[in-house]
Amino acid sequence: MDMFNGAIPHVIEEAGWLAPVLFIIVHLIRPFLFLPVIVVCIAGGYLFGFVHGTIYSILGLTLMSFFFYKLVDIFPSFRTRITTLKTKLLKDRTLTLGQVMILRMMPFVHFHLLSLYLMEMTSTFKEYMRYSFGGVILPSILYTAFGRAITDMPIYASVFFFLILIGVFYYLGRNATETYKWNRFFAAKSTSD
């Protein structure tokens, strides 16, 4: 498996102008290869630089959210499996949108489990895609820019970083009845212009 993981960056480097497309495809097949999101984003930063690596990771993760939504629609048994995983891991815990976004930044949390939470929180496909897109921006930036540093940081710094995220997670969960709307974070365009 390590030889295969090492071959992916080599193939992408040799692909020329097809490299971004191959990188986005790696994001799509990442769950089947059992690669964590952080590993692929670090590779994006290494291969394409911070700006392009972040953009390609955002595109890849957003497309993965899109395909997850469609797979759940086409294969109800897949939704049942993810729902069973959700029940086992998190019981009947209700999460706020902010908590889901914080969990997206934690490298060991199941990406599709969080996508299921987003599906349950939203009423339309369009709303789901907006939140999915918004939810992958910060992790893509964080992992692409600081991924190598995060994986190389001493254990006490890693623990401190995750304690901060856990603190924010619980702070956002204090008022679980509050709903977050897209327009609260992104101002709507003025129609008077």
Contact predicate 104/5, CB 8 Å: no
pLDDT in tens, 49-102: 889 999 999 999 999 999 999 988 888 888 888 888 777 776 766 777 777 777
Q: Please check whether residue 154 lies inside any domain of the structure.
A: yes
Q: Please check whether residue 143 lies inside any domain of the structure.
A: yes
- Per-residue CA distances from 143 to 38, 150, 182, 193 (Å): 6, 8, 24, 38
Q: How deeply is 96 buried, as exposed, middle or buried, from its count of CB atoms within 10 A (0-12, 13-18, 19+)? A: buried
The model's pTM: 0.73
Q: Please check whether residue 53 lies inside any domain of the structure.
A: yes
pLDDT in tens, 110-151: 788 888 888 888 889 999 999 899 889 988 888 888 766 766
Question: What's the domain count of the chain?
Answer: 1
Q: Please check whether residue 183 lies inside any domain of the structure.
A: no
Q: Please check whether residue 181 lies inside any domain of the structure.
A: no
Q: Please check whether residue 188 lies inside any domain of the structure.
A: no
Q: Please check whether residue 117 lies inside any domain of the structure.
A: yes
Q: Please check whether residue 72 lies inside any domain of the structure.
A: yes
Range of the domain at 74: 2-175
Nearest to 59 by CA among 110, 36, 14, 51: 51
